[in-house]
Amino acid sequence: MSRLRTASCLMTMVVVGCAATAEPGARGNGLVPATAQLAASGKAGIAHFTPGGVTIYVVDETDKALIFSGGIPEDAQAVIRVDPDMEAVVVQGPSAHESDKPDEGKPFVLAKPIDKTHRFSIWTSAPTTRPAQDM
């Protein structure tokens, strides 16, 4: 009977351990701030639309490495994408028909190369305070 109880306890511990690691580990590994919010995770091809005024973090979860971090200007909108075809992290703004700039709307490489067989996560973090404005 005690062997059965021991086996049952071990199985319970294994199940709990697996469930605890289901969320991407970037926060636990100290790669992104504690205030960052998970926006997307998965294999290459994930994307996240974001308004401006945030900081973006892209993490290679397989290598446990921060591969990009940077701010999106307050007056901008962007799609951050882990692009398997370009093997890169790219940002894309408004399409060309919404702008008079011919290059707008085309993907801009933020980080390259990436291993498209890895798992990734995209995080966002809004500023906690706004700078004081001089009057």
pTM for the whole thing? Answer: 0.71
The mean pLDDT of 58-75, rounded to a whole number, is 94
Q: Determine the Cα–Cα distance for residues 45 and 68; give it in Å rounded to an integer.
A: 16
Contact 75, 52 (CB under 8 A): yes
**Most distant pair of Cα atoms in the chain: their distance:** 77
Query: In what side-by-side order are the strands of the sheet with 47-51?
Result: 47-51, 77-83, 88-92, 108-111
Element (H, E) at 43: strand 37-43
Inter-residue contact 61 to 121 (CB < 8 Å): yes
Residue 83 reports pLDDT greater than 90: yes
* Mean pLDDT for all residues in the chain: 77
What is the pLDDT, as a whole number, of residue 126?
86
Rounded Cα gap, residues 123 and 36, in angstroms? 6
User: Each residue of 8-62: pLDDT tens digit?
Assistant: 333 333 333 323 334 566 676 789 999 999 999 999 999 999 988 999 999 999 9
Q: Where are the domains of the chain?
A: 20-125
Percent of the chain beyond pLDDT 70? 65
In 17-135, which ranges are E strands? 37-43, 47-51, 55-60, 65-71, 77-83, 88-92, 108-111, 119-125
- Using an 8 Å Cβ cutoff, are 124 and 55 in contact? yes
User: Which residue's entry shows tokens 């021991």?
Assistant: 6
